[in-house]
Structure 1
């Protein structure tokens, strides 16, 4: 790797707080580009134009990601005066087609909770843990990794919030509903008191894979297709159903921990009918009729 690329990666880590996985992805993309064109810091627009052919068999989303990494690198080079020009205008620009999130309907969510609550009535430790996990995924919109790695110290004593460490080491406050707090209290009273993790497992915490398995097994017992249920699907349901209920997009962005509101805006596709009704009811000209 050329020195400017290493400096760029160091900047991502130090100034933007990029996570290890993010840095590894940037490194792979930039290394791959250097294998085609050589030293990126000295590459010309003509050199970069060769990447389009090298990436011809890749998915549009992959090409877009690689191009984005290079554009950010050249923006860094210009800012740091490592070069005067930005040659990235010759990089391919595939049309972005972001897939719509998979979500569960209200009735399906209700079936999941009915099953989890029925099983938790026995006060079996694993059944109570299952209900607490479900409440936090759907009630607070946590990512799988955020949830399983929660320390016990994150559980609030009086305030209805908990502190979550999100992507890139960014902390945010997440509200905890009354029912989620009740489920957490039940679980805390039963869990292993020696672990520093809220959801302990052996010497560490519950794994993301085990969380996936718990949800899919619960879905099957609730009469739902297991492939429809995952931690991310429940996070999407949390966001979509809040938006349907009138939540502001900026508030939703904060709750989900999105750095860019463009990421949050994907949820607006599910609420077009409500938005049309809102315009018809609230617009100043609405009362004038047709």
Structure 2
């Protein structure tokens, strides 16, 4: 196994292999390259990995599973497209194992999609949310106020994790009860703040101000690590899973900041049935992306059937 192998270098070697040893056409190689580039950009967007410095050993099955799920859930692709991208990634990692660049192929336990049915987004139900927030409140930690503010921003604002960690204090507007910042695609986002969020942030700020910031960027940041840096994506991801486990949430390992964003979106649509407002709040460019939240939950389906007249 080669230590510190960069993702881009590994992709370059793989494409050479397809051309020189497998004899694939330029068009086929281009498709492989596009799939691997899309995966790298996904890691950058959702997990804040720097593409240029990304190393192969940093990639695990969770990253791959999330990417392949969001191919359908977020990008509105077909099962066939998802399976093709899985095959591209599996071939890439098979090559790395064959060349002794890595020991194991993390894609082997990921199954292909057998149907063309579109999955509904995964989200927490009301009991899960209560238990989750109580787990934070009942956890004796010096980060309690910070963690509660972060999670309420996910659940009441539906922010992407990259948007949350990049929030600055001066982007808060208490008079307007809102935040305004530049999100995905460098587009300006305006998000109203629920009173629960405002209260949580005001409760957190005195604790934040006790932390000695380590650099100029940290001085601007809303959320800080214990070391005085802007909080990292990985810290937030780890924190979310920790509280999901403590709350006893089913499949806690699969609870991520992205799933909390799904929770916000699912609840808001259920309450308002307003796709346009949801589109704006989530920062989606296309309304079709937002339409995955028009599902109904199991309880709604049962109630609807119960209301049928006797025949």
Give me the TM-score of the superposition, normalised by structure 2. 0.57
For residues 67-118 of structure 1, give each alpha carbon's deviation from its aligned partner in whole angstroms, at most 9, with x where no partner exists: xxxxxxxxxxxxxxxxxxxxxxxxxxxx965432111111111111122233
Shift of 1:272: 9.4
Give me the TM-score of the superposition, normalised by structure 1. 0.60
Q: 2:213 matched to 1:196?
A: no
For residues 227-259 of structure 1, give each alpha carbon's deviation from its aligned partner in whole angstroms, at most 9, with x where no partner exists: 242111111010111111124011000000000
CA contact (8 A) 1:64 1:96 kept: no
1:63–1:51 CA distance, 2 compared to 1 (3 A): farther
2:271 corresponds to: 245
1:64–1:116 CA distance, 2 compared to 1 (3 A): same
Task: Give 4+ residue runs of structure 1 displaced > 3 Å after superposition.
Answer: 35-38, 62-65, 95-99, 271-275
Q: Who wins on radius of gyration, i.e. which is larger?
A: 1
1:258–1:142 CA distance, 2 compared to 1 (3 A): same
Picking from 208, 221, 227, the partner of 2:246 is 221
Q: Give aligned pairs, total.
A: 209
Residues 6-85 of structure 1: pairs in structure 2 closer than 5 A: 38=26, 60-62=80-82
CA contact (8 A) 1:141 1:235 kept: yes
Shift of 1:203: 5.9
Residues 252-263 of structure 1: pairs in structure 2 closer than 5 A: 252-263=278-289
Unaligned runs of 5+ in 2: 1-7, 36-67, 69-78, 86-114, 214-218, 305-311
1:156 corresponds to: 173
2:142 corresponds to: 125
Picking from 205, 212, 215, the partner of 2:230 is 205
Q: CA RMSD in A?
A: 3.9
Distance in 2, matches of 1:244 and 1:186, equals: 30
